[in-house]
Structure 1
C-alpha cells in the first residue's frame, strides 16, 4: 500500500475492507468510497474546497443537540431523506403515502382522549381535526396509536422554545391519542401555517448560497402505529399553500394535500362554543399490512 496515487488509491481503500465481517457494512462502505472518489475526480475537488466541506460538517455537528438535528435538515434539503423514504416505503395503491420524518419528533409526548385540545396553549387559530384509520379493505383499525406534532403560528415547534421553570420542555401542539372502536380519531389543535426550517446555521447558509428559500408549506405531522400494519410516518399539507410546489425538503405528495375549512364563530365539532373563527380538517389514513408488497 505504498506509493499510492490518484489512479490506485480507490482500489487500495476497497482492498483494506476485506477483513470486514459485516456483509452489509462492507457493501455500503465499498460503494461510498467508490462514489466519493468518483465525485472528487469528476469535480476536480481542490484542497480548499475539501477543507471547506470539513468545516461545514464540523459546524453541522456543533449546532446539533437534543433539540436541533442539523444533520437531518441537511439530509432533508438535499433530498436524501425523501429518496430513502421513497425507496423503503413503497405501498400498494390506496395506502396513505409516507413522507419525511423531519427533525422535530420527540418521544414522551402527552396522551390525550378524543376531542381533547392538544395545543396546550400553542399560538394559533383553533382547528378541529377528525378522521379514520382503516385497512385497504376498508376495515376500521381499532386502537391505532397516532402521534401528532406541528409548529405554532410563529413557525416554532415546542422543542424550539425556551424550557419552563422546571427546565423541561412544555409540550404544545403535540400529543398521542388512539382510535376508537370504529377506527376514528378527533382532536383540537391550531391551524397549520407555513414556516421556515431553522436557517441560522450551516444548512441555512448552504440554502442561501444555492439561492434557495427555507420555507415549508403548512402541515401536520402524523406517525401511526397499529398491530399487524406497517408504521406510517407522514404529513397532511394545507391546500392552497404558496410553498406546496417548492417545499424546502421535497416532502409534498398530492395525495397528502387536504382542505382546512374555515368556519364562523359558533358550535364546534366537539360541541363547545368557539367565539372566534375556527377551522376543520377531515382526513382518513389507510395503512399497509405488514409484509404486503407494493
Structure 2
C-alpha cells in the first residue's frame, strides 16, 4: 500500500457557503421607508483581494434608540423596523443594507453615538469578527467605545457619506485593517 499524503490545512474548507439565503435580509426597513438609506461596502482580505463569499450581519437601534427586543425596557421599536440585516457579499465582494439612522443609546460611560453593530463571517475565520459602523456626519465625540480606539485607526469604523447613504468597507487584515472588538 502506498504512503498517504497529509491533507492540507484548512480553516473552514475550500467550498465555504455561509448562512441561510434570505431574500429580504438586506432590508432592515422596507423599501420606500421615509429616511431609509443604503450602507454599501466591499469586504477585502489582507492582500486587498475581494471576498466574494463573506456574510455581513447588522444589529441596531431604531431612530429613537429602541431595540426590537422584548428585553428592551423602552418598549417596542418603530413599526416595520426589524433591527437586523443580513447580506452575503457578491462576486465583487460587495454588500448592501437598507436601514435608518440609529438613535443615540445610553451606555455605562455616557451616551453612545449613533452606530450599527456588525458581524462579519468569512473564509479563513473560525469565528465571526465584530465591529461597529459610526457615521462621519454625526457627533461621535462622546462615544467611549470609539474613544478607546487609537485615533489613527478610528477612520476604519466611520462610514463615509454617499449620494444614497453611506459607504463602509471592511478590510479583514493587513494595512488599513478594520478595527474588530473582542466580545
Mark yes or no: TM-score above 0.5. Answer: yes
Q: 1:43-58 maps to which residues of 2 (within 5 A)?
A: none
How far apart are residue 173 of structure 1 and its match? 2.2
Residue 138 of structure 2 is matched in structure 1 by 241
How far apart are residue 288 of structure 1 and its match? 3.0
Cα deviation code 1:190-224 (max 9, x no counterpart): 12342324xxxxx6xxxxxxxx6x31111111110
Pair 1:288-2:173 in alignment: yes
Residue 116 of structure 2 is matched in structure 1 by 220
Pair 1:258-2:143 in alignment: no
Query: Which of the pair has more CA radius of gyration?
Result: 1
1:236–1:218 CA distance, 2 compared to 1 (3 A): same
Asked if 2 retains the 8 angstrom alpha-carbon contact of 1:120 and 1:173, the reply is no
Asked if 2 retains the 8 angstrom alpha-carbon contact of 1:221 and 1:235, the reply is yes
How far apart are residue 280 of structure 1 and its match? 0.6
Q: CA RMSD in A?
A: 3.2
Secondary structure at 1:146 match in 2: strand
Paired with 1:114 and 1:182, the residues of 2 have a C-alpha distance of: 20
Secondary structure at 1:215 match in 2: coil
Paired with 1:128 and 1:240, the residues of 2 have a C-alpha distance of: 15
Residue 66 of structure 2 is matched in structure 1 by 156
Asked if 2 retains the 8 angstrom alpha-carbon contact of 1:124 and 1:152, the reply is no
Residue 96 of structure 1 is matched in structure 2 by none
Q: 1:35-46 maps to which residues of 2 (within 5 A)?
A: none
Paired with 2:165 and 2:112, the residues of 1 have a C-alpha distance of: 21
Cα deviation code 1:30-51 (max 9, x no counterpart): xxxxxxxxxxxxxxxxxxxxxx
Q: Choose which of 212, 225, 229 in structure 1 pairs with 2:125.
A: 229
Cα deviation code 1:41-70 (max 9, x no counterpart): xxxxxxxxxxxxxxxxxxxxxxxxxxxxxx
- Corresponding residue pairs, total: 142
Paired with 2:61 and 2:161, the residues of 1 have a C-alpha distance of: 16
Q: 1:90-239 maps to which residues of 2 (within 5 A)?
A: 112-113=22-23, 116-119=26-29, 125-159=35-69, 160=72, 161-162=75-76, 172-197=82-107, 214-229=110-125, 231-239=128-136
Higher strand share: 2
TM-score (norm 1): 0.42
Q: Which runs of 5+ in 2 are unaligned?
A: 1-19, 175-183
Q: Which runs of 5+ in 1 are unaligned?
A: 1-109, 164-169, 198-202, 204-211, 264-278, 290-294
